[in-house]
Amino acid sequence: MLESRREVSIPTDVEEEATQREIALDPDAPEWTDEDWARARPAVEAVPHIVERHRRTRGQQRAPKKEKVTLRLDAGIVDHFRATGRGWQTRLNDALRQVIDS
């Protein structure tokens, strides 16, 4: 695997001061006051629906154990498994596994 390398330059004191001045003057990102921090709430309280949706998303597999394929099946088979709700593809996989293992 190729590694990408990039040089990181450390800003001079003058550049850092200029950057900090620009940050302080940005009307879209003002510094938070003590009042702002006192009113702040955890995301799970403020927008629980977004947090819940994020928690339900699956992350990348550490070691992929399944292979993505395109497969043509009879409509009745797909309808049968889809009618069982979320997770139908896993149940279809399990049914195929039972056939192989028996």
pLDDT in tens, 41-99: 999 999 999 999 888 877 777 777 888 899 999 999 999 999 999 999 999 999 999 99
pLDDT at position 38 = 95
- pLDDT of 5 reads 67
Answer whether 19's CB lies under 8 Å from 26's CB.
no
The answer to whether residue 1 scores a pLDDT higher than 70 is no
Q: Is residue 20 within 8 Å of residue 27, measured between CB atoms?
A: no
C-alpha neighbours within 13 Å on the C-beta side of residue 76:
0
pLDDT band for 2, please (50, 70, 90 cuts).
low
**pLDDT at 55 (0 to 100):** 87
- What's the CA gap between 92 and 27, in Å, rounded? 54
* Single pTM value for the model: 0.41
The better pLDDT of the pair 16, 7 is held by 16
